[in-house]
Each structure stands twice: as C-alpha cells, then as structure tokens.
C-alpha cells in the first residue's frame, strides 16, 4: 500500500502544473459535492425514519386511549396493508397470553417493557414478508405492553429513490468539478503560461527585449499573477539594460584598447630591430613603449574597477571626508605643479565621519581633481570646498577652464565618452564614470554643471545620517590651504 502511494505521489508530481491544479480543484469540488450529497442522504433517511416513528407514537397514544380494558390481544391484520397499523397487547406474564398466535413477534424485551423493567423501543423487522417498523411501549398502570407496527417499505423505497437521485447529482457534481477544475487551471495559469513562453523565447533567442502582455483597462484588477508578470517585465528591463551596458562596455573597451595595443606592437617590433636604430631612436621607442604600457595598464585597471558594482563590506570603515580631501589635494599638487589648488573646509564638516572605503573615496576625489586640472589653463586655480548641510556633506570641485558644452553635459559620466575639447588630451574617458560609480556605491550623488563665469563645477553629496558622527579630532579652521 505504501509503495502504491509513493508511485501515485510521483505520478502527480511529474504532471504539469496546470494538470495538478486541475486535479486539485476538481478533487476539492468533487469532495464537497459528494459530501453534500452524502449528508443530504443521511438527513433525508433520518427524517423519514423519524416521521415514521412519530406516526407510531401517535398511533400508540390513540390506541391506549381506546383500549383501557381489552386485555391481551393479538395482531389482527398481520400488516398486510401499508396505511393500517398492526396492534397487539402482550402481558408481562406469559401464562396470560391468549390462545391465538401473536401476529407480531414477542421477545423477552417485550415482556420486560410490559412489567415496567424496560423502556419503550423501536424495532425493524419483517412480518408476513413485509418490512415493518414496530414500536413497543407499556400501557399505564397495567402489566401489559402495547406493540404498534407500520409497513416501512414506503420509507425504504423513498430512501432508495433519494439515494439514486443524490448519486446522480453527485456524479454530475464530479463531472462539473472536473470541468471547473480545467477551466480554473486554464484561466488562472494563462499569465504563467505566457511568462513561461516568454522565458523560453528569451532563452532560445537570447533577446531580453521580449515582454509579457499585461491586461490594461480601467476595470482591470491587479492580482498576484499580474504582479508576478509585472515584476518579470521589470526584471527583463533591468536585464536588457545590463546586457546593453555590457555590450557597450565590451565594444568601447575593444575600441579603446585597439589603438594602444597597435602602438605597443609597433614599438615592440621596432625595438626587436634595435641593432638598426640609433641610440636616440632606441630611447624614444623605449620611452614610448613604457608610456603606452602605463596607459594600457591604467585602462585595464579602470575597466576592472568599473566592473565592480558595490563596495566590499570588509573594507568599510569610518572615514573623515575633510582629511581625504586634503590628502587628495596634496597628491594632485605633486602631479600638477602648475595648477593652484585651494581647499576650503567648513568647521561643521571638518570632524564629521561616515562609513566608506578610504581608497575608493580617495580615487573618486583624485579623478575629479585630475579632470579639473586637465582642463584648467596653466596657473589657473582649481577650487575645492567641503560644507555641511542638514543630513549631508557637500563637496564641490570647480575649475576655470572652457567648461562643459551643453551637448556634452548629459554624457560626461558615460564610459569612454570624450568631448571634442578632450580628445586631444590624455585619458581614456573612464575617470568620471568611475567617480560616479564609486559615489553610487557609497550612497552619494555626483552631478556636473557649468560654473557661473566659466569652467566646470562638480558637486558630490555625501549622506551623513545616523551612522555619521563628529569625532572632534584634527579639525582645521576654514580657509585656503
């Protein structure tokens, strides 16, 4: 039996979801239909039997009122007629029995009721080939029992007919349950079928642009399946954006790497014939090769950094943005000695700390400072400022160069994007894209704008919520550094 159950369970689990849902819904409705029919049969049978018992009790009361001094009497009709009751009186003492044979059976229980030692009772029996139901009770103040019997074949026939009718209704209910189960599974799982078809189509074509059609209209209700389909469409949109960004990154990276790799190969082949070159030519080729290797290394490192979506949790620590800014400006002064860097730190922001990765935040500031220095004229100033606002720190970097053209402004943070004015300058176009990614990873917002009076202005808004706290150490007064 256990093995059969396991085989049946495996068979059900191997069926499609639509089949299992149809079977479950059909079984539930069928069980309810069969249960209702069975309950109706039991209630009908009990009520019809109870009505027959009431008729017997009423007949016994009427006979008791008419037969006060009859004495022992045998049944006179032997229950030959359906509507006529059979009546007989049985004494407690068998010696007082009449000479005629009793028409209804007399048992010790009947004598006990007559003697007052037993309680009235009902009995189902057969008399002269007819089914009857008999009621036995004691005649008041007399040691005699009154037996009243009525034919019960009409009740049995009615119960039997009701059983057949309810069986037909139950069978129709089971068939209706099967149809409803199939309809429920087909209608309820239609969005799931569309979702499955879309997923299979995406897996076959590798094209995430497909979407599931959602019901639209003023009277449309949003149920769980519709929300699932909407979430799936949202996931497909994110996947499409990710795939598009990945393809664009690969295409841009291959384009950017092609030129330096070609130059590297050319210089390597040139140095391979060093015996044919002069000393100055060898030095120039060696210097170009070293410079190009450095550029390729920087480009590859930038690509690796851009491939990181979030900051590693183990590297998070409490950092002080004011100290990071001063350190980044000091490093920029060494790298760009011809540029005048100035720093202004608000006293309210000097000692504020917030969670972050110091190396990554330092890289963000270095990229902003290098970008500002690249576009500043020789001797031109690059102004940096750190101020405190309600729940945030605002860091700004401004240069006095040509500024950002209106057409270039929406694309300054795109990977490998280089404005016309920057194409002649060194760089790969990844610095600002990396800066924005680091800002997003720290929950910050980095924006670019045209500065009043000329130049570019970059603003970095750092959240300083419940986790940020003033340390009171190393506070510097406001002013230029």
Summarised one tens digit per residue, pLDDT across range 224-275 is 767 777 787 788 888 777 777 677 666 666 666 676 777 778 878 777 777 7
Helix 153-188 to helix 190-205 angle, to the nearest 10 degrees?
30
> Shortest CA distance to 71 belongs to which of 107, 108, 97?
97
Report residue 5 as tokens. 């159950």
C-beta separation of 320 from 351 below 8 A: yes
Burial class (CB in 10 A: 0-12, 13-18, 19+), 280: exposed
> Shortest CA distance to 421 belongs to which of 435, 405, 399, 398?
405
pLDDT score recorded for residue 382: 92
Distance CA 323, CA 386 (A): 11
Helix ranges, 273-346 (H): 279-306, 321-335
Query: Tokens 């694309």 sit at which residue?
Result: 411
Distance CA 285, CA 197 (A): 59
Strand order in the sheet with 340-345: 340-345, 381-389, 392-399, 456-463, 445-450
Low-confidence ranges of the chain (pLDDT < 70): 1-18, 67-83, 188-189, 212, 214-223, 225, 245, 248-257, 259, 299, 302-315, 415-429, 465-481
In eight-state DSSP terms, residue 455 is S
Strand partners, 398: 383, 457
Distance CA 397, CA 385 (A): 7
C-beta separation of 299 from 430 below 8 A: yes
Summarised one tens digit per residue, pLDDT across range 50-66 is 888 888 888 888 877 77
Query: Tokens 């030519």 sit at which residue?
Result: 281
Burial class (CB in 10 A: 0-12, 13-18, 19+), 171: middle
Element (H, E) at 107: none
């Amino acid at each position: 039996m256990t093995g059969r159950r396991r085989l049946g369970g495996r068979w059900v689990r191997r069926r499609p979801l639509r089949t299992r849902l149809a079977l479950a819904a059909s079984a539930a409705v069928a069980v309810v239909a069969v249960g209702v029919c069975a309950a109706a049969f039991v209630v009908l049978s009990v009520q019809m039997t109870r009505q027959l018992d009431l008729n017997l009790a009423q007949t016994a009361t009427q006979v008791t009122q008419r037969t006060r001094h009859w004495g022992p009497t045998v049944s006179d009709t032997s229950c030959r007629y359906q509507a006529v009751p059979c009546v007989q009186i049985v004494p407690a003492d068998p010696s007082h029995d009449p000479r005629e044979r009793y028409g209804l059976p007399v048992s010790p229980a009947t004598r006990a009721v007559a003697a007052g030692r037993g309680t009235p009772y009902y009995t189902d029996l057969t008399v002269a080939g007819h089914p009857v139901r008999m009621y036995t009770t004691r005649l008041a103040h007399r040691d005699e029992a009154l037996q009243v019997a009525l034919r019960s074949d009409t009740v049995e026939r009615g119960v039997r007919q009701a059983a057949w009718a309810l069986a037909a209704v139950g069978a129709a209910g089971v068939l209706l349950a099967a149809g409803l189960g199939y309809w429920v599974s087909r209608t309820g799982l239609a969005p799931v079928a569309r979702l499955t078809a879309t997923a299979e189509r995406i897996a076959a074509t590798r094209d995430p642009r497909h979407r599931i059609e959602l019901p639209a209209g003023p009277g449309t209700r949003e149920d769980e399946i519709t929300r699932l389909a909407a979430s799936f469409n949202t996931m497909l949109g994110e996947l499409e954006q990710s795939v598009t960004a990945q393809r664009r990154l690969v295409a841009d990276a291959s384009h950017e790497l092609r030129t330096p790799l070609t130059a590297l190969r050319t210089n390597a082949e040139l140095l391979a014939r060093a015996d044919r070159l002069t000393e100055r030519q060898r030095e120039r080729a060696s210097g170009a090769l070293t410079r190009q290797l450095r550029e390729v290394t920087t480009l590859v490192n930038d690509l690796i950094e851009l491939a990181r979506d979030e900051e590693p949790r183990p590297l998070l620590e409490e950092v002080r943005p004011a100290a990071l800014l001063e350190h980044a400006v000091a490093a920029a002064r060494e790298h760009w000695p011809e540029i005048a860097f100035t720093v202004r730190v608000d006293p309210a922001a000097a000692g504020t700390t917030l969670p972050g990765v110091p190396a990554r935040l330092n890289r963000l500031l270095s990229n902003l400072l290098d970008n500002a220095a690249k576009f500043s004229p020789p001797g031109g100033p690059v102004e940096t400022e750190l101020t405190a606002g309600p729940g945030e720190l605002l860091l700004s970097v401004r240069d006095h160069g040509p500024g950002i053209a209106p057409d270039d402004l929406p694309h300054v943070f795109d990977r490998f994007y280089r404005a016309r004015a920057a194409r002649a300058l060194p760089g790969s176009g990844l610095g600002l894209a990396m800066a924005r990614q680091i800002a997003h990873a720290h929950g910050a917002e980095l924006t670019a704008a045209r500065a009043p009076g000329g130049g570019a202005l970059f603003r970095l808004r750092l959240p300083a919520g419940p986790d940020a706290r003033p340390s009171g150490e190393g506070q510097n007064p406001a002013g230029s550094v």
